[in-house]
Structure 1
Amino acid sequence: MRMNNTDPGFWAEIADAIKHSWPQVFGSLLAVLIRYGMLIYNGTEKKNEWVEGIVCGLLTLAITSSLNFFGLPESVSPVIGGFVGFVGVKKLGDAAVRALNKRVGGGDADK
């Protein structure tokens, strides 16, 4: 099927989709901006760490897409985005691995 982007209905559907998912989009953008702000504040000069802002936004989008499953409102998305952006992906990943190891009784690979 060919996408016809000159059709006004196409752009109306795009605008409607963004409107309905605005809390998730806003939370993701907030995570990206906060993470970039933290990188600038910390004086990071490593080029590979600048990708972390994008990863924070994607992680926030993944988390906020499952809020209904946990019975939380979508209006919590900016708070989650701010938290993910402030803490960062590395620290969240380390905390998740520790929690999983504790839950399943696995050993710590760092020791």
Structure 2
Amino acid sequence: MYDETHLQIDHRIPYRVAGDDTGSERNPDDFMLLSGSAQRQKSWACEHCKNYLTTKDINVCKTCYWAYPEQFEHIATKQERRVDLTFNGNDIELYEELKKKAIKNNSSIQEELKKMIK
């Protein structure tokens, strides 16, 4: 969990796509809180997205992981799915077991998790 003093406010849909309603009151739902590293990841993904670079269709952004991670259809127009999983407290032991298993199988942690789901 992040310390809220380290979170940054970011547009859900990039300013260069949606613009800004400077003449009216801003809607808090148009923004999200992100950690600094997540904000940099989002910026990089958006700046390299074909929608951001050419079409600038707000509806494409509305279905993107980076704008609405709780309900998305694509990640920067690529057919991908993403799950962010954090281990803390007693769960760190589970992570270490998973890491050992991945090393033993000459695999990645992500691949081990996929095998477990299958």
Structure with greater strand percent: 2
Q: Same fold (TM over 0.5)?
A: no
Report the TM-score when normalising by structure 2. 0.29
